Structure 1
Amino acid sequence: MKTKYIIILFALAVAFAGCRKYVEIDQLSVRTLKYTSDYRYTMNNNSVLEGSFSYPILSGDDTEITDATRQNNLGDILGNVYSWAALYTADTQSDADWDKQYKTIYTCNEVINGVLNSQNGTEQEKQKIYAEALVHRAYTYLVLVNTYARQYNSATATTDLGVPLLTTPNLYTKLNRTPVAEVYNLIVKDLKASISRLPDLPEFNVRPAKVSAYALLAKTYLNLRDFNNASLYADSTLRLQNTLIDLKNYENSPATLPLRLNNPEIIFSKIAAVTYQAISLSNDLLSAMGTTDLRYKLFTDTRSRFGGQFSTSFTGRASSKYFYNEFSISNGPSVPEIMLIKAECLARAGQTADAMTVVNNLRVKRFNNANYVPLTASSAADAFRIVVEEKRKELFGTGLRWFDQKRLTLDDAFTQTKTRNYKGIDYTLTPNSNRYIYPIGDKYILLNPELQQNPR
């Protein structure tokens, strides 16, 4: 029987996740999940469950690596990601993002499969743990389907290849790719099933709660182009959590910015699986921000901040968010992201003034009083453009821009050709290009021939 490579490695993480003391004799060298507390400890394993995507940070047009030192330091895999190459990994190399997501899914499936029948726990505890696993799994599949599959399109979603849809911890499940529509169906089903079992807000933002499920439903329906439901779930999210950090309070003391576990803007904490200390930013993004924007002042910096990671000739600016967030890059759902989803839905519905009110409610927290000027829109289309631009400024350096670029290829107003130069060669990304779909690693296809490659 063939071992499924992308899953077999993950068994160990769960097998040793429980921390309970033994009170009976179990089979030697075998660790089983038996008690409700075992499942609780498993769901507390943030080293597995908090991990998110990282490669899209290099793919998006908010990133621009022109410095020779930085380009040379990328290496082969990251260089391939940055240049939108046909393949990212050789047949002996692993895809860190793919591995991370399926490791999370395996862990969640272990919990979903067993916690409701576990021993020595209350029914409420079991239901809560079960729901947390559903939310984590839904988030992970949302990342996977938006990374390794075509953008959802109602005309083709039932036939477009999605990703392997694993819903049990069976190590020998075939890895045929499930259609995009079916992957989204599971995401919505998991999130809706979790809501009644969860508290409104979590004890810590690394744990799912109702607010997390609502936020992910808003993101999911946005990708499904169901803007009415995306708007409604954005409202549900913001009724529970809507606090923004006022950056003017930190203009002269950036080191006191709240860390992610205490950050009131973070709804559901997720961090990049691979971290980049120096993400150089595109000139057009920096120009659009302007030097009075406190996001520019607080979250970007010059070469001196990053030392030898740039050559002495580098004159641009790089994202310094990594240093203000416990040496990690947060890219989970946040209050600003959900506000901008709401604003986009309003603009698409022709509610220009309401969309701009949401945008300005965010922007007023991003400038000192002397430099703040409310934005106005001449039309719904203009408001839509402003929302997209504001989202790029707010979420730069997180990888979320890549998913917006891909999603907006279905909107004529945002179709554009992107180019970048890497090690002396020009690379082009055209609207609706297959390069918006990440390749499946050859290593996984060789071991699992039923796993089809994406068109390149």
Structure 2
Amino acid sequence: MKKYILILIMGVFLGACESYLDEVPSKSTNLPLETIEQLDALLGNYYYFFTDKSRNAALCTDDYEISEYLYNGFSGNSYRSMEIFQVATWDVKDTPFDGKETFWGTEYTKIFYANMVLYYLDGVSGTEEQKAELKAEANLIKAYSYWLLASNFCLPYNDATKNELGVSLKKSVSFDESAARSTLEETYAEIENCLEEALKLENSIVKDGTFRPWRGNTSAAKAFAARYYLSVNNYTKALQYANAALADYSELFDYNSEMSFYKTTTTVNNQQVEINYPSTYLSDDNEQLSYKEFYYARFSYHPYAWYVPSQTLMGLYDKDADLRYRYNFVENYSYVRDRTGISYPGYIAMGSYNIPSGPTTSEMLLIKAEAIARTGNWQDAMNVLEQLRVKRIDAGMYTELVANNQEEAVKLIIRERRLERPFVFTWYDYRRYNNNEVSYDDVNLSREFYPYNGSTVLSGEPLVTYELKKGDRKWARPIPNTEVESSLGEIKQNTY
């Protein structure tokens, strides 16, 4: 961690702040930060903040297909990379050493930038109102990143786990600040402290006539608060903040009128194969960051550019009526990644790498529906759910979902969450389902796949069963060993 911070200090302001600074900050020089515009430019560089590189969200659930059939059918690294199989089968032996886990480091980079703003805020020129907004925005960044880190590298939070290891809480830009991990209870207390400050944001999501969800804003803070409180099963507060966010902004993307196909072809074994992408596949950075459902523009990023949908996931959709299946599951997409393999779909949202992961209006409706259903008023919850479904189901085939009791309503709502945003919500949802007040939504995961060692899949041997059960310590994914070593032993690895 200390080595990591030294590297950050050397390059932290290259980019958006380049026009403001005459020298690069270093340990031994005074940082030439004198105006509020310099700090605003740092938080305004969305390239620092907008990607969420969680391998666990992409690979660790039954949204992602791992199978003998696919392994034997493909040859390219988009599917047959060792780290994919290791992460997807919840390995804890080799994964810390694979050198491919960047999520811990990138989220701490965001926290570092936020701390830079907080550290220099009092000493720069600018109005008190401007400073208050940047302080709140920096705390939103920290709350969001700490929550992501805890939700990937720590056990799910409850009374039984509160004294387990949390994350490293970085509150300054000092080289001497300890990188030791806090307790899980301290981690969640810090998330709530940062969130409390973030909720003081007063900037609207629309500023000077421009829709700006890539910047901190009052609606983004409320929306993240709704997500956070749902994650700890506090349905009252989740509902409170979902309602507050929706009261600010409630635009929904309508698949019936705003989605179309982008048709193209690729050559496979000297034959032309048609591939129909959703029109959102072609969206550029500006269009993606301005996606009208966003409260806060963040994207899940999978470096292999192939979200491989499982048979289980695809089987949940009404393939005729659900427009999310029609447009987002791209037939023959495997040929783009491996031109000599077999035909298999890919899940596509915005480009090959990105799926919206930041809080959206559709997520707020799902949180609102689930919070209402879990607190007893399940009939009203179903009405809220239909406000979303009417924008996602073919208008000519639309029928309302029917629940006969609270349990049926909750199950329909949580299924809808998975249909709405696979490879994003599912990992985080499974963690909370296994730690809430009911057992009917518990999740135990298993896969059958070949055995492997640290470098090779042993495809000539019989299949074995890999499991991730409720209560398993592997719900806390391993921290990269490079981080453990660079912290000089202060960061403790998870125990299994």
Q: 1:170 to 1:310 in 2, by over 3 A?
A: farther
Match of 1:428 among 467, 476, 488: 467
In the other structure, the counterpart of 1:139 is 144
Match of 2:491 among 438, 444, 451: 451
TM alignment of 1:252-291, pairs within 5 A: 252-253=260-261, 254-255=278-279, 259-291=287-319
Partner SS for 1:386 = helix
- The structure with the largest helix share of the pair is 1
1:282-338 deviation per Cα after TM superposition (whole angstroms, max 9, x unaligned): 112211112121000111111257424375334x422011428xx522211111112
Matched, 1:175 2:179: yes
Tell me whether 266-275 or 135-144 shows the greater mean CA deviation: 266-275
TM alignment of 1:112-151, pairs within 5 A: 112-119=118-125, 121-151=126-156
1:111-136 deviation per Cα after TM superposition (whole angstroms, max 9, x unaligned): 111123212x2222222122111111
What letter is aligned with 2:411?
A: R
Partner SS for 1:413 = coil
1:163-192 deviation per Cα after TM superposition (whole angstroms, max 9, x unaligned): 001111112221211112222222222222
Decide whether the 8 Å contact of 2:202 with 2:217 is kept in 1: yes
**Same amino acid, percent of matched pairs:** 24
Matched, 1:19 2:5: no
In the other structure, the counterpart of 1:317 is 345
Partner SS for 1:452 = coil
Matched, 1:415 2:415: no
Q: What value does the CA root-mean-square deviation take over the aligned residues? A: 2.6
TM alignment of 1:305-344, pairs within 5 A: 306-309=335-338, 312-314=341-343, 316-323=344-351, 328-344=354-370
1:359-387 deviation per Cα after TM superposition (whole angstroms, max 9, x unaligned): 11111111122111100111111111111
In the other structure, the counterpart of 2:419 is 393
**How many angstroms does 1:390 deviate by?**
0.4
In the other structure, the counterpart of 1:4 is 2
What letter is aligned with 1:232?
A: Q
CA distance in 2, matches of 1:376, 1:15: 54
In the other structure, the counterpart of 1:33 is 33
Decide whether the 8 Å contact of 1:20 with 1:38 is kept in 2: no
Match of 1:218 among 204, 223, 226: 226
CA distance in 2, matches of 1:94, 1:278: 16
In the other structure, the counterpart of 2:246 is 238
Partner SS for 2:219 = helix
Partner SS for 1:272 = strand
**How many angstroms does 1:455 deviate by?**
2.2
Partner SS for 1:414 = coil
In the other structure, the counterpart of 1:52 is 52
What letter is aligned with 1:255?
A: S
What letter is aligned with 1:413?
A: Y
**How many angstroms does 1:270 deviate by?**
0.9
**How many angstroms does 1:344 deviate by?**
1.1
Tell me whether 7-16 or 44-53 shows the greater mean CA deviation: 7-16
CA distance in 1, matches of 2:98, 2:419: 37
Structure 1: gaps (5+ residues)? none
Partner SS for 1:239 = helix
What letter is aligned with 1:126?
A: K
Match of 1:80 among 75, 86, 92: 86
CA distance in 2, matches of 1:34, 1:375: 58
Tell me whether 125-134 or 266-275 shows the greater mean CA deviation: 266-275
Partner SS for 1:396 = coil
In the other structure, the counterpart of 1:303 is 332
Decide whether the 8 Å contact of 1:420 with 1:428 is kept in 2: yes
Decide whether the 8 Å contact of 1:7 with 1:102 is kept in 2: no
Q: 1:162 to 1:39 in 2, by over 3 A?
A: same
CA distance in 1, matches of 2:251, 2:13: 39
In the other structure, the counterpart of 1:249 is 257
CA distance in 1, matches of 2:431, 2:197: 28
**How many angstroms does 1:91 deviate by?**
4.4
Q: If the length of structure 1 is used for normalisation, what is the TM-score?
A: 0.91
CA distance in 2, matches of 1:51, 1:23: 28
Decide whether the 8 Å contact of 1:152 with 1:223 is kept in 2: no
Matched, 1:64 2:48: no
CA distance in 2, matches of 1:113, 1:29: 16
In the other structure, the counterpart of 1:405 is 430
**How many angstroms does 1:256 deviate by?**
6.2
Q: 1:91 to 1:369 in 2, by over 3 A?
A: closer
**How many angstroms does 1:151 deviate by?**
0.8
CA distance in 2, matches of 1:235, 1:224: 18
Q: If the length of structure 2 is used for normalisation, what is the TM-score?
A: 0.84
Decide whether the 8 Å contact of 1:409 with 1:415 is kept in 2: yes
CA distance in 2, matches of 1:297, 1:114: 50
Total equivalences in the alignment: 448
**How many angstroms does 1:72 deviate by?**
5.0
CA distance in 2, matches of 1:322, 1:426: 34
CA distance in 1, matches of 2:229, 2:417: 17
